[in-house]
Amino acid sequence: MKNNFKSPMLYAITDSRLLKNKSLGEAVREAVLGGADIVQLREKHVFGEELKNLAKEVLEVTNEYNVPLIINDDPELCLEVGAAGVHIGQKDMDIISARQMLGEDKIIGVSAKTVEQAIFAENNGADYLGVGAAFGTNSKTDASCIPHERYREIRNAVSLPIIAIGGINKNNISSLKELGINGVAVISAIFGDENIEEDSKELKKLCEMYFI
């Protein structure tokens, strides 16, 4: 059965290294209460059993609020803990293999920088695209910025939801309006501050103003 994925406006991506005196579960709860529509577990510094325990901790929160949990780059962990889906990059498992492995009921997001990558992802079963980097970012050192006109080009080529990612915050989000994107994915703009719920609320209001 095909999943009933709904395009998010505010896509929260975790990084527990940014947190100030709270657990990842607590932080995710605040982000969801503030308006995050979807959460991605992205803990590049955590592995094995510790990562699985973190996934379970976050999944307990997201299930409580009926918010999808996406696992970054790890279809096996997605299946093991029962998360809603995965997000894969161009250097990770390809979309065809991921869809075969996960089936139709799991959400699969794909990173794309070009129109060609976006079309390939759509034609082979992706549910949404993560496109960027929109701005410079410290969270991914190899994420070169794309021209903002690229968002319009990808929008004209595919019908999938487009989520902009990379260095987005409340001060620069307005420059992404009228590009045809559906929402934004943020890390430090949510989890890098003490007031996670308030930051999420502010970002969500801006998303509702600017995006389709």
Q: How far is Cα of residue 202 from the mean position of the Cα atoms in its chain? A: 18
- What is the distance between the alpha carbons of residues 1 and 18, in angstroms, rounded to a whole number? 37
Active-site annotation, residues:
42, 111, 140
- What is the distance between the alpha carbons of residues 49 and 28, in angstroms, rounded to a whole number? 20
- Tell me which residue of 29, 28, 30 sits closest to 42, measured CA to CA: 28
- What is the distance between the alpha carbons of residues 12 and 40, in angstroms, rounded to a whole number? 6
Q: Concatenate the DSSP letters of all residues of 117-153 into one string.
A: HHHHHHHTT-SEEEEE-SS--SS-TT-----THHHHH
How long, in residues, is the chain? 212
Question: Kind of pairing, strands 10-13 and 107-112?
Answer: unpaired
Question: Kind of pairing, strands 69-72 and 85-88?
Answer: parallel
- What is the distance between the alpha carbons of residues 136 and 211, in angstroms, rounded to a whole number? 21
Question: Kind of pairing, strands 128-132 and 162-165?
Answer: parallel
